Amino acid sequence: MKLCKLVLAIVVMMPLVARADTILLRGKAAITGVKVTAETMKEVTYTKSGKSKKTVPTSEVIAVIYDRPPVNYRLGQERFSLGDFVNAVARLKPAVDEGASDQPWVKIYASFYLGRAHLAHGDFRDGVKVLKKLLSQISDHRLYPHVAIALARCQSMDALHADAKKTLTKLKNVLEQQGVKGELPQRANLALGDSYMAAAKYSLAADTYKEVAAAGVGSKGILEELGYHAKGRLLQADLLNKDVPKAKIVLDDLRSASRKNISAASAAYRDAKVAMLLHGDGSGQTPNTKELLEAVYDLSRVRGENFGVISELPRNCYLLGLIHLKLEGSLTGAKELAKGYFEETRKLYPESREAFLAREELKKM
């Protein structure tokens, strides 16, 4: 009994443990052992050891990791990261309402991951419901652009194309009003281009991708990567619009850029070259087995070296599936390999546009 009283006395006398939130930064050491007090589209505010508030530009922030996450949130996020979206949803639903008064971030983050889990699992209507509600509650939060983009993707996949355009147009206006420049407006443009693609409005998609590509000219880092990624998307839009001459111009641009040893350009160029091969160059000739196998080799090289901020791997994996479908009849087991690549695209990159294209291919098989 005396021992129990002693332990209790020690616990009472101990000072409260300070928050130990972490801010992960792009290209810099993480800020650790702090208490994050606010996240806006412009800056993240924090305090350390009870001292005055400090800020870091949101453009430099990769992620904010909060201390003492509720069990359901933590397990839901873990299941999400593992691709177990059914159990992620089961954990994240109660987590949305579990945040304590001193943890307002829980509701926001749990709702964000819940909406994305619905998107990744193909439950688009549920995703729209969750993300739309969240978006109305976080007008100036750091996650606002990411929530809007995820919402637009759910809307596009649920054939709510007008709603997707409205969501992304509003996002672009909000970013402009907030004076946010650089990466986020171009990510919004990419998402808008993808929504036009889903609606089969290929000319509008091409115009939107051109904006992103133009913003990348003369830039370095993320904007440059986004620009080359957009050019790859632009080629796809031109091909779907049956404008092979324009697609060839884009392919030549990517070829020239890839010779300068820019990894983002090289990855986009290889994928674009394969897309042109699969679609045809307008000559009416069907690609032969040798050309298709060479394309497999090219894409395999991309899989081993492309670790940029804007990954071409979802497109890469999906194209490998399409190539192996073309190789059926000349390569043993080609159809099964194609199925494997489509499954891989769906499972490893569940929120990508290619994941949904892969699902459609799997339905045909």
Report d(CA 99, CA 108) in Å as an integer: 9
Domain extent at residue 60 = 19-65
Report d(CA 231, CA 186) in Å as an integer: 13
Q: Is the pLDDT of residue 9 over 80?
A: no
- Has residue 36 been placed in a domain? yes
Determine how β-strand 54-57 pairs with β-strand 43-47. antiparallel
- Has residue 234 been placed in a domain? no
Hey, how many other C-beta atoms are within 10 angstroms of the C-beta on 318? 26
Q: Could you give the strand order of the β-sheet that contains 54-57, starting from the edge strand earlier in sequence?
A: 54-57, 43-47, 31-39, 21-25, 61-65
- Has residue 29 been placed in a domain? yes
Burial class (CB in 10 A: 0-12, 13-18, 19+), 225: buried
Q: How far are the Cα atoms of 169, 269, 295 from residue 285, in angstroms, in the given order?
A: 41, 21, 16
pLDDT tens figures, 131-162 = 999 999 998 999 999 999 999 999 999 999 99
Three-state secondary-structure class, residue 245:
helix
- Has residue 269 been placed in a domain? no
More confident residue, 365 or 298: 365
- Has residue 244 been placed in a domain? no
Q: Is the pLDDT of residue 75 over 50?
A: yes
Average pLDDT, the chain: 87
- Has residue 53 been placed in a domain? yes
Residue 302's pLDDT band, with cuts at 50, 70 and 90, is low
Report d(CA 214, CA 100) in Å as an integer: 45
pLDDT tens figures, 237-291 = 999 999 999 999 999 999 999 888 677 888 888 888 888 888 876 555 677 888 8
pLDDT tens figures, 85-123 = 999 999 999 999 887 767 889 999 999 999 999 999 999
Number of domains in the chain: 1
pTM for the model stands at 0.86
- Has residue 34 been placed in a domain? yes
- Has residue 168 been placed in a domain? no
Three-state secondary-structure class, residue 34:
strand
For the chain, report the end-to-end CA distance as a whole number of angstroms: 70
